[in-house]
Amino acid sequence: MRILRLFAILDRMRVNRRPVSAETLAQALDVSVRTIYRDMATLQSMGAPVRGEGGIGYQLEKGYFLPPLHFDPDELDAIILGMQLISVRGDEQLANAAVRASAKIKAALLEGERDNFATSPLHAVSMPDEVPAASPLLSPIRLALRERMRLNITYKDLKEKSSTRIIRPLGLTVFDRVWLLTAWCESKSDFRNFRVDRIAEIIKTGDIFPRETGKEFHDFLQTL
């Protein structure tokens, strides 16, 4: 149905900060480029905050209200399971945030999707004896990530050897049993990974580090 395709176009454009070409949208939605042109004209005539520039693509204007998100069944399943896993794998703040986010998503859904979201047959659990409780340091580490603040950490490696170092926290990765902090170690001048459950202490330095090419999380991921 065309109305569902229009919602799908808006949904795809929301998650892209850069302009999206008609060709990219056409390929993603399995329609012709001409159909995308017509759909964009329709959206603009309806007052949707869509701006198009020749040779660049389409982009949503900033600061405009958009209609509720539309999710397909697989997307809803991913959201449901993701929120449930975060609620059992994260710290208390993350668990509470997952509950709040779920409520907001449910309220923003279309009526039929809202019912499916509330009565989903999917459920994620973790056995207490298999997944250790999240470290109490996870929350302040996440805050330091957002603020880009250097941390002074005391770390115990697998041989129980302690070391103290100044790091730039760059990213967190959750595995089945542990959270892994990726950082730029100032003393080693290189990337290092630290198991959050083996960090004994963190001290906030108050020192905000700048963005620097070669020392960011995406730079680390490119080395894998």
pLDDT at position 66 is 54
Higher-pLDDT residue of 223, 175: 223
pLDDT at position 53 is 78
Q: What is the pTM of this model?
A: 0.63
Q: Which of 2.60.40, 2.30.29, 1.10.3470, 2.30.30 would CATH assign to domain 138-221?
A: 2.30.30
Mean pLDDT of 29-58: 85
Q: Domain boundaries in the chain?
A: 2-60, 73-118, 138-221
Cα separation of 180 and 171, whole Å? 8
Asked if residue 80 has pLDDT above 90, the reply is no
**Domain 2-60 = CATH 1.10.10.10:** yes
pLDDT at position 28 is 86
Asked if residue 36 has pLDDT above 80, the reply is yes
The DSSP code sequence of 93-156 is: HHHHHHHHHHHHHHHHS-HHHHHHHHT-S------TTTSPPPPTTHHHHHHHHHHTEEEEEEEE
Range of lowest pLDDT (63-77, 101-115, 162-176): 63-77
pLDDT digits (tens, 9 = 90+) for 82-98: 888 887 788 888 888 88
Mean pLDDT for the chain overall: 85
pLDDT digits (tens, 9 = 90+) for 124-144: 766 655 566 678 899 999 999
Highest mean pLDDT among 41-45, 53-57, 112-116: 41-45
pLDDT digits (tens, 9 = 90+) for 154-211: 999 989 999 999 999 999 998 877 899 999 999 999 999 999 999 999 999 999 999 9
Name the residue with tokens 């329609």: 31
pLDDT at position 182 is 96
Cα separation of 53 and 132, whole Å? 51
